Amino acid sequence: MKTDHLTDRDALALTVWAEARGESVNGRVAVACVIRNRMRLRKLSAKAVCLQPMQFSCWQTIDGQANHDVLKALVDAAAAGRPVTDPIIRECYWIADGVLAGDVRDNTKGADHYLTTRLLSSSRRPSWVAKMDWTTTVDSQAFYRSRP
């Protein structure tokens, strides 16, 4: 997938949409806040954080080809300059604008990781969870902060 044309705003909004479109507004804000927290910790742009390998499943084909394919179609549409009409995607752009401007309060208590609560008690629970401090749960996502 070609991502050269994506801005920080595009990368953040599309990541939030692909990762949390089934969540409430608070859930989507929480995912955006995780990205902002990683930006601060790693001193990277939103685009760099979102596109880092193996960080956000929507940009990978390993764990969700269907989600990746839908995201690719949106990226291609953005490259072609087609207007965004889907209300949830438009809302994700609104969230991205607020997060990038610093106008949105962090509702994750400083989290820099998250995962679906379905994985918490499953055999597919990632090993990194044991090395993190839980901060909060928003909708169906559990949020964690890296230990110092």
pLDDT tens digit sequence for 39-97? 999 999 999 999 998 888 777 767 666 766 777 777 777 777 888 788 999 999 999 99
User: What domain count does the chain have?
Assistant: 1
What CATH number does residue 72 fall under? 1.10.10
3-state secondary structure of 59: helix
Q: Is residue 87 part of a domain?
A: yes
Q: What is the mean pLDDT of the chain?
A: 90
Q: Is residue 91 part of a domain?
A: yes
Listed in sequence order, the DSSP H helices in 8-141 are 8-20, 25-42, 46-51, 65-79, 87-101
List, in sequence order, every residue forming a beta bridge with 136; answer none if it has no partner.
143
Q: Is residue 51 part of a domain?
A: yes
Give the Cβ contact number of residue 82 at 10 Å. 10
Strands (E), 56-131: 113-116
In the predicted model, what is the mean pLDDT of residues 19-38?
96
Which structural domain, as residue segments, surrounds residue 72? 8-108
Whole-angstrom Cα distance, residue 2 to residue 10? 13
